[in-house]
Amino acid sequence: MKSYQQIISGNKRTDRTFVVIGLLVLLIAMLTLVALILDLAIQGLPRLDWDFMTNFPSRRAARAGIMSAWVGTTLVMIVTAALAIPLGVAAGVYLEEYAPKNWITDIIEINVTNLAGVPSIIYGLLALGLFVYGLGLGQTIQVAGLVLALLILPIVIVSTREGIRSLPQSMREGSYALGADQWQTTVRYILPSARPAILTGSIMGLSRAIGETAPVITIGALTFIAFLPPSPVQESVPFINFDWLESPFSLLPIQMFNWISRPQADFHVNAAAAGVVLLAMTLLMNSFAIYIRYRLRKVL
């Protein structure tokens, strides 16, 4: 028969083994990521300069740039964020705070979760049929923004709900006890407290959207385009215009994919440089979210 001492030291050994395995797994994941980023950076960074950012695509690798691609990606992400975040948060709040608990809500919940697993090309086909042909919106920035917003909507909804669900019930009860109604409770207490989770979910969604190619190729994103969409600001009243929503566009991942499949090695370097820019844009988005979270926490 084992003594307690033996049992305890055995369990401790299991603990230590698990920590070592966990560290190893983490190390493998991190090393792969670091290797990928380093490889991209070593190849791409020397190619990055002002000209590369401000030139249009060209048949000569040394003259080619990503102007139309990064502008397209930025504008599409603005549309995506403007649509997906308000809609996703509103849907999440409704499902968590307002929806009656019955079988219809259950079905909606199951479907929202399932939607997160639908391959992105399916969204592309839906958008092609519905937005491009059905509603006649054309192969434009607004359609790309719409389809990517649909794609990440489940991520935003689910993370909003997780954030709300983790709040203690006592918070709501305290608010009601002070005489607040449900709307006041939601807007003044629930949403601000769930904000970190909502921001994290939104950034996860946008980071996924920024790298997507399949759905945007389906709806007609271009590979060569040597002009920019009309500027969103103008000199005359009302100073902003939305013509750019109707513009044809290209995106960074599409430009990368085109370059990487070219025969000339110089284009592969261009693809790596475009990859660095894409990575930088994703990190920029992330740090923006962290900044907002930090600012708002101070206010609260």
Partner 1 sequence: MKAVSILMSAALGVTASWSAMAQQMVRIDGSSTVFPIIEAVAEEFQIEYRGNYRVTVGVSGTGGGFKKFCRGEVDLTNASRPIRNEEMALCVENGIDFIEMPVALDALAIAVNPRNDWVDYLTIAELKKMWEPEAQGRINNWNQIRESFPDRALELFGAGADSGTYDYFTQAVVGREHASRGDFTASEDDNVLVMGVANTTSALGFFGFAYLDENRNKLKPIPISYQGGAPVLPSIETAKNGTYQPLSRPLFVYVNAAAADEKEAVRKFVDYMLDPELAAELVKEVGYVPLPLEAYEMAQAIFKNRRLGTVFEDGSQIGVSIEDLLQMEGGR
In the bound complex, what is the minimum distance in angstroms from residue 267's beta carbon to partner 1?
10
Q: Which is nearer to partner 1, 85 or 164 (CB)?
A: 85
- In angstroms, the CA 202 to CA 81 distance is 8
Q: Which is nearer to partner 1, 71 or 185 (CB)?
A: 71
State in angstroms the smallest separation of the CB of 72 from partner 1.
Answer: 12
Min dist. Cβ of residue 269 to partner 1 (A): 13
Helices (H), 128-213: 141-165, 169-177, 182-185, 191-210
> What minimum distance in Å lies between the beta carbon of 111 and partner 1?
23
Residues of this chain that interact with partner 1 (CB under 8 A) are 56-59, 79, 82-83, 86-87, 136-139, 142, 146, 217, 220-227, 230, 242-243, 245-248, 258, 260-265, 268
Residue 103: exposure state from Cβ atoms within 10 A (0-12, 13-18, ≥19): exposed
Q: Which residue's CB is nearer to partner 1, number 185 or number 251?
A: 251
**Which of 75/95 has CB closer to partner 1?**
75
| CA 35 and chain centroid, separation | 23
SS3 state of residue 146 = helix
Letter string b/e over residues 140-153, b meaning 16 or more CB atoms within 10 A of that residue's CB: bbbbbbbbbbbbbb
